Amino acid sequence: MCGIVGVFCNDVDLTPHITYYALFSLQHRGQESAGMAVSGVGVNLYKDMGLVSEVFSNKILSMLKGNSSIGHVRYSTTGQSRIENAQPLAVKSRYGSIAVAHNGNLVNYRELRKELEIDGKVFHTDSDTEVIVYLLSSYLLDNDLETALSMLTKKLMGSFTLTLLLNDMVVGYRDPMGFKPLCVGEGEFGYIIASESCAIDSVGAELIRDVRPGEAVIIEDGDLRFEKIAGSDKKCVCVFEYIYFARPDSVIDGRNVYRVRYNIGRTLAKESPAEVDLVSPVPDSGTTSSIGYAHESGKPYLEALIKNRYVGRTFIIPGQENRELSVKLKMNVLRDNVNGKRVLLIDDSIVRGTTSRKIVELVRKAGAKEIHFRVGSPPIVSPCYFGIDMSTREELIASEKSVEDIRRDIMADSLAYLSLEGLLDSVGIRREDLCLACLTSRYPVPVECAMKC
Amino acid sequence: MCGIVGVFCNDVDLTPHITYYALFSLQHRGQESAGMAVSGVGVNLYKDMGLVSEVFSNKILSMLKGNSSIGHVRYSTTGQSRIENAQPLAVKSRYGSIAVAHNGNLVNYRELRKELEIDGKVFHTDSDTEVIVYLLSSYLLDNDLETALSMLTKKLMGSFTLTLLLNDMVVGYRDPMGFKPLCVGEGEFGYIIASESCAIDSVGAELIRDVRPGEAVIIEDGDLRFEKIAGSDKKCVCVFEYIYFARPDSVIDGRNVYRVRYNIGRTLAKESPAEVDLVSPVPDSGTTSSIGYAHESGKPYLEALIKNRYVGRTFIIPGQENRELSVKLKMNVLRDNVNGKRVLLIDDSIVRGTTSRKIVELVRKAGAKEIHFRVGSPPIVSPCYFGIDMSTREELIASEKSVEDIRRDIMADSLAYLSLEGLLDSVGIRREDLCLACLTSRYPVPVECAMKC
Amino acid sequence: MCGIVGVFCNDVDLTPHITYYALFSLQHRGQESAGMAVSGVGVNLYKDMGLVSEVFSNKILSMLKGNSSIGHVRYSTTGQSRIENAQPLAVKSRYGSIAVAHNGNLVNYRELRKELEIDGKVFHTDSDTEVIVYLLSSYLLDNDLETALSMLTKKLMGSFTLTLLLNDMVVGYRDPMGFKPLCVGEGEFGYIIASESCAIDSVGAELIRDVRPGEAVIIEDGDLRFEKIAGSDKKCVCVFEYIYFARPDSVIDGRNVYRVRYNIGRTLAKESPAEVDLVSPVPDSGTTSSIGYAHESGKPYLEALIKNRYVGRTFIIPGQENRELSVKLKMNVLRDNVNGKRVLLIDDSIVRGTTSRKIVELVRKAGAKEIHFRVGSPPIVSPCYFGIDMSTREELIASEKSVEDIRRDIMADSLAYLSLEGLLDSVGIRREDLCLACLTSRYPVPVECAMKC
Amino acid sequence: MCGIVGVFCNDVDLTPHITYYALFSLQHRGQESAGMAVSGVGVNLYKDMGLVSEVFSNKILSMLKGNSSIGHVRYSTTGQSRIENAQPLAVKSRYGSIAVAHNGNLVNYRELRKELEIDGKVFHTDSDTEVIVYLLSSYLLDNDLETALSMLTKKLMGSFTLTLLLNDMVVGYRDPMGFKPLCVGEGEFGYIIASESCAIDSVGAELIRDVRPGEAVIIEDGDLRFEKIAGSDKKCVCVFEYIYFARPDSVIDGRNVYRVRYNIGRTLAKESPAEVDLVSPVPDSGTTSSIGYAHESGKPYLEALIKNRYVGRTFIIPGQENRELSVKLKMNVLRDNVNGKRVLLIDDSIVRGTTSRKIVELVRKAGAKEIHFRVGSPPIVSPCYFGIDMSTREELIASEKSVEDIRRDIMADSLAYLSLEGLLDSVGIRREDLCLACLTSRYPVPVECAMKC
Ligand SMILES: Nc1ncnc2c1ncn2[C@@H]1O[C@H](COP(=O)(O)OP(=O)(O)O)[C@@H](O)[C@H]1O
Ligand SMILES: Nc1ncnc2c1ncn2[C@@H]1O[C@H](COP(=O)(O)OP(=O)(O)O)[C@@H](O)[C@H]1O
Ligand SMILES: Nc1ncnc2c1ncn2[C@@H]1O[C@H](COP(=O)(O)OP(=O)(O)O)[C@@H](O)[C@H]1O
Ligand SMILES: Nc1ncnc2c1ncn2[C@@H]1O[C@H](COP(=O)(O)OP(=O)(O)O)[C@@H](O)[C@H]1O
Ligand code: SF4
Ligand code: SF4
Ligand code: SF4
Ligand code: SF4
Ligand SMILES: [Mg+2]
Ligand SMILES: [Mg+2]
Ligand SMILES: [Mg+2]
Ligand SMILES: [Mg+2]
């Protein structure tokens, strides 16, 4: 899971700043590394480990002049937290300069890489982005952009939403299944392509529309056009963008994320009511659905937990071994709000269950009489192979246990998940246009081969 | 405004970790520098500029062994952001080792310093903490601790809540007016003294009680006792701890901060109702009172704004000159929630008014039909001289303008502040026991001389 | 001009340390970046900008376990001081892992790169090492190592002394003209290949012998063998290794560097005697030849100048604008030694002449009666295209001016260069086996096309 | 052992640069920390751990404007390598601003500190400089500068050469015994006071003269004057400045350091001749005396050892445990020069003997037939308590062993030290005006109490 950006800006000095602002707004999509490639006098690339605000200084931005750029923030899916894997990936070939920022995951990465290796290709990194760069680069040698993207699409399996800097042309492309989002905005400065609309807002631009699955958006010589590259029987928009990942102030494929989460809360209230004194979120991801639940149920919305806002990506608790002591550093209970009360807690989802159990325990110790846990999604039963990393770091509690077992595990008085129907209603997108694989185990593409370590 | 901590821990290896956790929970009270002094084989001091998690590593903590410690997080009140001003301040004298962590502000600092200089004293820093150290150190030479604290109290004017490490004794002391909070907790590991109870929670300890104004808490040889040092005609607890500064999950002088803010919201609803479609906070400081307002008014609580959680202390927006573009980086509007709606916005207070105006503008642009602004405190009309830095950085809009003028300035359709009575009711502490100086211009101590730049 | 290393070590933990020590001894060959690739469980690469001692810590070394390794220190020949250009360059292909460390310069780099681009190859860096990696990698797919090296040799024009890590095999290879040195040593730990024998000494190993031009040294499964890969009509060992670049304690192609420089001094004394009171080096590069000159002439060796030993690679003199003041920071005159004396100064060579003029001025101001300048090489009249960067940074004063003009420029009372014959005598290698291009303008390979910027 | 500087400069922008250059030239006197205090609008202090070139950037220098300044480089005498001990030490008192840079060591530090503590003084550091600051500060309150310095002198025992910044007055002061050097220069920019004359040279100024023991140099309102503050029966100039510590291009108390070392070499040749084939220095400290020895003896000067010039202050050899391997990193033998030869090695002094033994071993292994070791000073038999740190880190081999025993220890064929008479002749200063305590065990002041840990 990453955030990507493409910018065309009339003012060569402004381009890196626009890109910076957009990346900063997408920081929640990846905190491990950040980078941008800017096409001015040649293509200049700058990337490093760390947050956007740590990687870029005014001095660095001022050295990256040009009209076109792409940017990337990376989420560490594996333990491989190395500068070599930072993006964009930029190369030169007979075609000229090619830089690629990728959000997604190729399920046939290993086969493609083997194929390319057999063909004599030489790899500098371990990332699937290099496979994309190599294929694209070879297609571009003898084909126009549209054909090259179409050929690429036939070859790649999995999710791949891309921004490309091809010499000074900026391109956004979304794979035909459209797993990962991409949208386009226009401002006084020029154009912006970004993973989420909040990035468009952040630079004072207006959303034009989402890039459709299988569609490319091409900004060439200051002109923007959309091109249909590849059709698909079936769209496959990742439902977890709505449930958890995207920022609530983004609009994805026409659906307002905040509204979806609010609906989820309301639906949950209808599906799984409870006699409680207050409705409380597990902050921050449960906040919006809690408000929806409270409104629908008529029960008061009141916070039970305060999250320490300084718990960040790089936060390592010294002396982790003193686990007993360190538990409460991240969240504290508002004892006064829960003491003697029947509390309903809502989180967006449950992955391993460990955090949920700790939270229930904290609230219980603070005197809550009853704790009813509600989850804003159906149980996650299968891993995702399309770029959201739920599986690799931990086992999915719902893949093996019944809801009742999980309830007992997390020690809640009641536990209810959102139904799949309820989710679909809340999102407001047709079932056949959504990826629901992690909830249903029905994968939109064959993934047997894909067991990425 | 700073955060202070004192720890006695049975386990010499654990002490620095307990202190770290507590400081981490008080990070909101100061992000500029962090430090701790630990008494083991001699007193070891470590402090640096930056967040708690940046200043201390496991390696550094492991070198700070001992049973007793004090800690400090500093908020930069002036431009003087220098390591020299970081705390604790630690010295050696005939008495032995003395380390001091100070939260507050001495209004007679200049006179005291002049007096000490005339007496031949030599100053290494520009901070009023050094004055405290010098006086205390000289009193301790010929007096017992209680007498020394009592003499110190007679000398100092202003606010001074302290934690002290006197050789291996840990002391907490709160000036007789009690401006700044201090409380004591007990855990399995030993004892903890801290600015706010959330720090006690964070280390798994239980709140014993607040230190009373004029009272000291002394931990010596593993035993804790309270000592009344100085009486006072008049308590003077800073009301802004409840309104804004403290963490909502803290309990200060027996009053739950979250509850106070919630009450503020309800009182506001009663005092200044409005015909609106939704009640929204200016995040994060307006959140709790918004919930209270919503409950009391029966109007739905719904977020209008999303705050980028990566906007931090050190966040400098590159290219600030592009102000037009950078405005929206910190907050984005949930257009769908406000479009065509009558919105009630609540913030805890208004200082300069600049942010409020920008926010109203953002929400208006997003299509809000009406914007009604409510403020969870009476107008701030006078600067604070007791350690909350509202005055020095900016002018107070309410010191010169009427509410109607301010309303016009921030371009809201209506504007209402909480009444003083309403505030007192919400806090639930007697007027004579509170400092309200910044709201009433009536200062509890003479401050003419105090115009600290 | 760079330094390269290859190591095979029986003890997997020791390998990175051996490599580190060897690189540290070759630090004078490149101070810009340092790196090593170690083959253990897979090939691990670590490289960064800076000195060897800055790039590697004990912690990093301890993570690089394995039996085989190569290393590199880089000298910044162009302004392109970027991490992307740091070496070794490591890739993966169907062949497996390939890492390359390169000392030299390809004169047909642009053509080869164009050829490879036409062939569809994609470049990640701007360095000629990537061309070597790509060619080698493709040859290795269908050929054994010896054939691949032979094919590579036919393709490359210019200088290329290499160490390779091919999976866990360590290879050293020297191009058939043998511009840049390479030698092999054996120690208790295993084997070491290095640019200079001082690196072999530094790890307590014994020099086996130099790698011959066109020869490879291959360490496979703990066994070392030499293989003749390519013959050549003509050897072309860089004479400037002896004159200036190599460490005086190295032995290159059987010739002791210190001895050569000492001989140069003696020959100079015979060719260009002078009636002087003392013979002084321009430190450090003139030291050895000064001693030789003194011995031959019978004049006393006595220092005239002291070089500040803290003037380092990263030394930037703040306030360079105050040039008048900053001149004397790097060297100071021993006034007492030169006052009223006839001084003979010796430096290894003159490139731009600026430093020489300043030095003569300093010594003159200190009261020297006469200053006779002697140069331990013939005039440098043409740029080097084989990896010693004399030309790009500055103009060669001798390319346009006569010796008499240069004498006037640097304001010496007399000036004499070593004759070419004298140089050849001092080195003791046959003229036809040396590169002398920068001194004679006769290039051993066509370089018209090579004007690398 | 430290380096100190004082500057008065007509141009407020140039002052910090002059100070920087001077400190840079004194870097050999201390590599642990560097600092300067500049008096412009108030006194600004900047200091940090590290080399001069690491501590100061152009940006920092440009913020330190003013006409007067003092500076300091610190040598870590104890393990206490902490920023708290960096100098100058700057305080404020009724007198105004006082900043002190100190080179020396107080033997009655503990008593003075105890006295001041009893008097109620409070200490922020563990350095004897704070004692000086406190005493001076108190004397200045009621006395003029000359009287204050005179009072200070009566109080302090040991060595204390100081530069002071008293508001905007610059003062240099040398204790009446004159252990540590201090000299004054004049340039176009103004005046400079420095530990060694090489600093005066480095800023293009001319040496006026040395500050005499017991004398102060005072620069006030742009005018410089010398004042005799205190007389003394006995001067006590540290002979080790000539033997080892000072830069060879400095002139101290009228004696040229290079000349002294050269004389030492000649005297050694006369006192302890040897039938050898070459005379070689242990670099760098043995270089000058080797040249003198060679000239006197008529034996050829030729280097036997090359010192790696990148072995610096911060050089930690990773994997020190592999001692066998790491020995040769610092020095390498020129085998060709020593093989089959009778080698005479000269170093300035022998402290522990460990390095000498290793060097003899290296030269022996390289084939030397005989190794004759000569030392440019008499045996060091007692520790120094006046600021040169020979004793604390290691035991003195000559304090317990005879010359013959040491010879056997270091495995030389012969060993000879310079005689005391020879040393006195070489230095050319009367015995009664020199400190020779570490060579004679006769201390010029009582030091029983001084066993500083
Ligand atoms: N700026 C923001 N404001 C509010 N919510 C955000 C913001 N950025 C991301 N989020 C939301 O925060 C949630 C994740 O936060 P949280 O639950 O606190 O962390 P965790 O990932 O540990 O569960 C996601 O639902 C995401 O949509
Ligand atoms: N961990 C926390 N969780 C929630 N609120 C907090 C936390 N720490 C501090 N606060 C509250 O945050 C508010 C300040 O935040 P905010 O309004 O976002 O920033 P600003 O100071 O810029 O107005 C204060 O009211 C404080 O009580
Ligand atoms: N460790 C060493 N000891 C002595 N000389 C060295 C060492 N390393 C490199 N050299 C020699 O130093 C010379 C370059 O140093 P110097 O003349 O001081 O610098 P510059 O390159 O500025 O002229 C070269 O001749 C090189 O052979
Ligand atoms: N710039 C310089 N040039 C030559 N010698 C110097 C310089 N700076 C200091 N020295 C001398 O170097 C000697 C110390 O160097 P060296 O012997 O290499 O190190 P060590 O202190 O390890 O013995 C001292 O005698 C000192 O006078
Ligand atoms: S499997 Fe789940 S997380 Fe992955 S793309 Fe599909 S819906 Fe999204
Ligand atoms: S003036 Fe205001 S902010 Fe200051 S202490 Fe009093 S109530 Fe608190
Ligand atoms: S041109 Fe000169 S420097 Fe270059 S390889 Fe030939 S001899 Fe060496
Ligand atoms: S004891 Fe030795 S080193 Fe110390 S001051 Fe005296 S002569 Fe110098
Ligand atoms: Mg969450
Ligand atoms: Mg706020
Ligand atoms: Mg040189
Ligand atoms: Mg030495």
C196 in reach of chain D (CB within 8 A) = no
Residues A84 and A187 in one domain: yes
A399 in reach of chain B (CB within 8 A) = no
Q: How far apart are CA C139 and CA C149, in angstroms?
A: 8
Measured on CA atoms in the order B127, B130, B135, B139, is the torsion positive or negative?
Answer: positive
Q: Characterize the bridge pairing of strands C278-281 and C342-347.
A: parallel
Residue of B nearest to D126 (CA): B92
Taking the CA of residue B88 and the nearest CA in chain D, the distance in Å comes to: 12
Ligand 1 pocket residue status of A242, Cβ below 6 Å: no
In the listed set B202, B233, B264, which residue is the last one of a domain according to the structure?
A: B233
Ligand 7 pocket residue status of C244, Cβ below 6 Å: no
Q: How far apart are CA D197 and CA D207, in angstroms?
A: 7
Q: How far apart are CA C57 and CA B75, in angstroms?
A: 35
The confidence score (pLDDT) of residue A24 equals: 96
Per-residue tokens: C67: 């039996």
Query: CB pairs under 8 A, 24+ apart, for B254-257?
Result: B254/B210, B255/B427, B255/B428, B255/B429, B256/A334, B256/A336
Q: Is residue D389 part of a domain?
A: yes
Q: How far apart are CA A161 and CA A176, in angstroms?
A: 9
Tell me which of A2, A183, A198, A236 is the catalytic residue: A2
More confident residue, C327 or A281: A281
Backbone conformation region of residue D56, classed left if phi is above 0, alpha if psi is from -120 to 50, else beta:
beta
CATH of the domain at C329: 3.40.50.2020
Nearest ligand for residue D29 CA: 4
- Stretch (H or E) spanning A45: strand A42-49
The confidence score (pLDDT) of residue D166 equals: 98
Residue found by looking up tokens 């020779």 in the block: D436
Residues A213 and A333 in one domain: no
Contact C182, C203 (CB under 8 A): no
Q: Which residues contact C353 (CB under 8 A, 6 or more apart)?
A: C397, C406, C409, C410
B53 is in an annotated binding site: no
C240 Cα–ligand 7 center, Å: 6
Residue type, D295: H
The backbone torsions φ and ψ at residue D173, rounded to the nearest 5 degrees and listed phi first, read -145, 140
Count the Cβ atoms, other than its own, within 10 Å of residue B453.
5
A91, A117, A118: residue with CB nearest C122? A91
Q: Is the pLDDT of residue C235 over 80?
A: yes
In the listed set B233, B266, B298, which residue is the last one of a domain according to the structure?
A: B233
D25, D259, D325: residue with CB nearest C336? D259
Q: How far apart are CA B64 and CA B55, in angstroms?
A: 13
B352 Cα–ligand 10 center, Å: 12
Q: Is residue A32 part of a domain?
A: yes
Question: Average pLDDT of B64-77?
Answer: 91
Q: Which residues contact B250 (CB under 8 A, 6 or more apart)?
A: B181, B196, B197, B198, B257
**Are B and D close enough to touch, i.e. 3+ CB pairs under 8 angstroms?**
yes
Condensed to tens digits (0 to 9), the pLDDT of residues B108-163 reads 999 999 999 999 999 999 999 999 999 999 999 999 999 999 999 999 999 999 99
Contact A202, A27 (CB under 8 A): no
Q: How far apart are CA D443 and CA C436, in angstroms?
A: 63
Taking the CA of residue D56 and the nearest CA in chain C, the distance in Å comes to: 8
The interface residues of chain A toward chain C in range 263-302, judged by CB-CB distance below 8 A, are: none
Q: Is residue B239 part of a domain?
A: no
Residues D275 and D140 in one domain: no
The confidence score (pLDDT) of residue B322 equals: 55
Ligand 8 pocket residue status of D436, Cβ below 6 Å: yes
C435 is in an annotated binding site: yes
Residues A221 and A281 in one domain: no
Contact A47, A95 (CB under 8 A): no
The confidence score (pLDDT) of residue B217 equals: 98
CB contact (8 A) between residue D300 and residue C295: yes
Domain that holds residue D42: 3-233
CATH of the domain at C154: 3.60.20.10
Q: Is the pLDDT of residue A196 over 70?
A: yes
Q: Is residue A376 part of a domain?
A: yes
Residues D282 and D191 in one domain: no
Query: Angle at CA A224, nearest 5°, toward A220 and A228?
Result: 100
A41 Cα–ligand 8 center, Å: 63
Residues C390 and C309 in one domain: yes
Q: Is residue C246 part of a domain?
A: no
Number of domains in chain A: 2
The confidence score (pLDDT) of residue B329 equals: 83
Quote ipTM for the complex. 0.88
Residues A301 and A224 in one domain: no
Q: Is the pLDDT of residue C410 over 60?
A: yes
Per-residue tokens: A244: 């958890």
Bridge partner residues of D443 (DSSP): none
Residue ranges of the annotated binding site of A for Mg(2+) are 285, 347-348
Q: Is residue A203 part of a domain?
A: yes
Per-residue tokens: A219: 């900004």
Percent of chain C with pLDDT over 70: 92
Question: Average pLDDT of C208-228?
Answer: 97
Where does residue A206 rank: exposed (0-12), middle (13-18), buried (19+ CB within 10 A)? exposed
Question: Average pLDDT of A18-32?
Answer: 95
Residue found by looking up tokens 């500049």 in the block: D38
Query: What is the interface size between B and D, counted as CB pairs within 8 Å?
Result: 45
B92 in reach of chain D (CB within 8 A) = yes
Residues C153 and C93 in one domain: yes
The confidence score (pLDDT) of residue D395 equals: 79
Write out residues with Cβ below 6 Å of ligand 6: B 179, 238-240, 384, 386, 388, 435-438
Residue type, C362: L
Residues A67 and A134 in one domain: yes
Nearest ligand for residue D288 CA: 4
D106 Cα–ligand 6 center, Å: 50
CB contact (8 A) between residue C326 and residue D51: no
- Supply the angle between the helices B257-271 and B420-427 in degrees, to the nearest 10: 140
Indicate which atom in ligand 6 lies nearest the CA of residue B179: 5
The confidence score (pLDDT) of residue D165 equals: 98
Residues C215 and C122 in one domain: yes
The interface residues of chain C toward chain D in range 322-381, judged by CB-CB distance below 8 A, are: 322, 324-329, 332-334, 336-337
Q: Is residue B32 part of a domain?
A: yes
The confidence score (pLDDT) of residue C232 equals: 75
D376 Cα–ligand 4 center, Å: 14
Residue found by looking up tokens 């252990």 in the block: D179
CB contact (8 A) between residue A328 and residue B203: yes
Which string of DSSP letters, residue by residue, matches D351-392?
SSSHHHHHHHHHHHHTT-SEEEEEESS----S---SS--SSS
**Are D and A close enough to touch, i.e. 3+ CB pairs under 8 angstroms?**
no
Where does residue C201 rank: exposed (0-12), middle (13-18), buried (19+ CB within 10 A)? buried
Q: Which of A220, A216, A147 is nearest to A184 (CA)?
A: A216
Q: Is the pLDDT of residue A283 over 90?
A: yes
Residues B294 and B184 in one domain: no
Condensed to tens digits (0 to 9), the pLDDT of residues B312-328 reads 755 555 665 555 555 57
Strands (E), B188-289: 190-194, 206-210, 215-220, 223-228, 237-238, 251-252, 255-256, 278-281
Taking the CA of residue B11 and the nearest CA in chain A, the distance in Å comes to: 12
Indicate which atom in ligand 2 lies nearest the CA of residue B27: 8
The backbone torsions φ and ψ at residue B6, rounded to the nearest 5 degrees and listed phi first, read -140, 140
Indicate which atom in ligand 8 lies nearest the CA of residue D385: 4
The confidence score (pLDDT) of residue A393 equals: 38
Q: How far apart are CA C332 and CA D24, in angstroms?
A: 13
A174-178, A208-212, B356-360, D351-355: which range is least confident on average? D351-355
Q: Which of D238, D283, D291, D241 is nearest to D263 (CA)?
A: D291
Task: Give the three-state DSSP class for B299.
Answer: coil
Q: Is the pLDDT of residue A439 over 70?
A: yes
Chains touching chain A, criterion 3+ CB pairs below 8 Å: B, C
C438 is in an annotated binding site: yes
**Residue of minimum CA distance from atom 4 in ligand 5:** A384
Residue ranges of the annotated binding site of D for Mg(2+) are 285, 347-348
Q: Is residue C319 part of a domain?
A: yes
B92, B123, B141: residue with CB nearest D123? B92
Percent of chain A with pLDDT over 90: 82
More confident residue, B392 or B17: B17
A101-105, A258-262, A387-391, C129-133: which range is least confident on average? A387-391
A63 in reach of chain C (CB within 8 A) = no
Residues D88 and D160 in one domain: yes
A200 in reach of chain B (CB within 8 A) = no
Question: Average pLDDT for consecutive 10-residue bins of chain D (453 residues)?
Answer: 96 96 96 95 92 90 95 74 84 96 95 94 94 97 97 96 98 97 97 98 96 98 96 88 97 98 98 98 97 98 96 60 63 97 97 92 97 98 79 72 97 98 98 95 74 39
D17, D259, D302: residue with CB nearest C319? D17
